[in-house]
Amino acid sequence: MPARDSTPPDSHWQGVRLHVVTGKGGTGKTTVAAAMALALAAGGRQTLLVEVEGRQGIAALFDVPPLGYAERHLAVAPGGGDVSGLSVEPKAALMEYLDLFYHLGRAGKLLERMGAVDFATTVAPGMRDVLITGKVYEAVRRRRNGGPAFDAVVLDAPPTGRITRFLNVNEEVVGLTKVGPIRNQSGSIMGLLRSPQTVVHLVTVLEEMPVQETVDGVDELRAVDLPIGGVVVNLVRDPVLGTRDLADAVKGRLDPEAVAGGLRTAGLGGHSTGVQARLATLTEGLLGEAADHGERVALERQERGTLAQLRRPTYELPALSDGIDLGALYELARRLREQGLA
């Protein structure tokens, strides 16, 4: 049976039931959402990881067969607890809607055969997102054994450029329809999304464009009263040189003789002119790379400063050198917990 106290008291997000994860494309939304679902499940809780773009990214990540419309168990969290996964598909969501609100049953199937379902889910603008957010709402609200079926739902959401429109789509529906079940449903969804039970986290890397998208995303979400969560800085690499050496590297003040000495110590020495020439080329190359590295670290510091101005809880995740497998997800989940996300 799921625990009833969703998140532990030292988490920044106590009481939050829906964690929406957005960010610039390719910054690690799917990876971070998965690690978050594991972190939030630790210690015996139940979480649901939901994807909405039909890409089967979650199945690939957890190395399971493609997810369907019914959720599937993905992983056991540290200290017990379970992560389940779901891929929300607008067509199936529409069939469920028709059945739920109009008890269409077989008539719904007929509509599907007539192509009406395809029409509604692919042609009617915004309809797709209404259906998807409706399904997410249902998962958050679902009950089991007298309590919430899931302590937390983590949504691997559309990227920053589309997130506000996606989450706010039901607002438009409320404005368009005067009465009826669809209006009520849309009103309830907006109610959840604007409540303290929802937060939108933004994933970024320490580069100019993704950081700018994060800043813009926060502004846009704020403008429509959607609750901003934390900022997850992903793919962080530790500097390979100390602060002093980095500054010297950028200014071209590293001592070439010291670098060449290091290379000789590493066994790259020799006295022939050929070897000497190669050593000089290698030293020059290394000094150039050190300068680039120094510049990158300085830029990263600047981006961190920009993110700090958002005044949101910020979490850093390392770039794991062996790629992302289940073990890596546990490692990232552990880091998130250490930093108070769950």
Ligand X SMILES: Nc1ncnc2c1ncn2[C@@H]1O[C@H](COP(=O)(O)OP(=O)(O)OP(=O)(O)O)[C@@H](O)[C@H]1O
CB of residue 171 vs ligand X: minimum separation in angstroms? 25
The number of residues in the chain equals: 342
CB of residue 342 vs ligand X: minimum separation in angstroms? 17
Name the segment binding ligand X (CB under 6 A); options: 21-29, 169-177, 237-245, 287-295.
21-29
Identified binder of ligand X from the candidate list 7, 22, 28, 37, rule CB under 6 A: 28
CB of residue 215 vs Mg ion: minimum separation in angstroms? 21
Kindly state the tokens that stand for 97: 């809607």
Angle, in degrees to the nearest 10, between helices 127-141 and 90-102: 70
Query: Minimal CA–CA distance to 2: which of 35, 39, 48, 34?
Result: 48
Closer by beta carbon to ligand X, 111 or else 307 = 307
Q: Which residues neighbour 296 within 8 Å (Cβ) at sequence distance 6 or greater?
A: none
Q: Which does 319 bind (CB under 5 to 8 A by kind): Mg ion, ligand X, none?
A: ligand X
Q: What distances in angstroms separate CA 274 from CA 259, 278, 313, one per listed residue?
A: 18, 6, 55
In the bound state, the residue with its beta carbon closest to Mg ion is 30
CB of residue 28 vs Mg ion: minimum separation in angstroms? 8
Kindly state the tokens that stand for 24: 């610039």
Per-residue binder mask for ligand X (CB under 6 A), 148-187, x = binder = -----------x----------------------------
Asked if residue 26 binds ligand X (CB under 6 A), the reply is yes
Bridge partners (DSSP) of residue 6 are none
Segments in the chain forming alpha helices (H): 29-41, 57-62, 90-102, 106-113, 116-118, 127-141, 160-176, 181-193, 208-223, 243-250, 256-263, 273-308, 326-338
Closer by beta carbon to ligand X, 188 or else 314 = 314
Which residues here bind Mg ion, judged by CB under 5 A? 29-30, 57
Q: CA-CA distance, 129 to 56, in Å (whole number)?
A: 18
Closer by beta carbon to ligand X, 23 or else 85 = 23
CB of residue 142 vs ligand X: minimum separation in angstroms? 25
Kindly state the tokens that stand for 53: 């773009």
- Pair 212, 157: CB distance under 8 Å: no
- Pair 97, 134: CB distance under 8 Å: yes
Closer by beta carbon to ligand X, 57 or else 148 = 57
Name the segment binding ligand X (CB under 6 A); options: 20-28, 116-124, 176-184, 291-299.
20-28
Per-residue binder mask for ligand X (CB under 6 A), 233-272, x = binder = -xx-------------------------------------
Q: Which does 31 bind (CB under 5 to 8 A by kind): ligand X, Mg ion, none?
A: ligand X
Q: CA-CA distance, 45 to 83, in Å (whole number)?
A: 9
Asked if residue 327 binds ligand X (CB under 6 A), the reply is no
Residues in contact with ligand X by CB under 6 A are: 23, 25-31, 57, 159, 234-235, 317, 319-320, 323-324
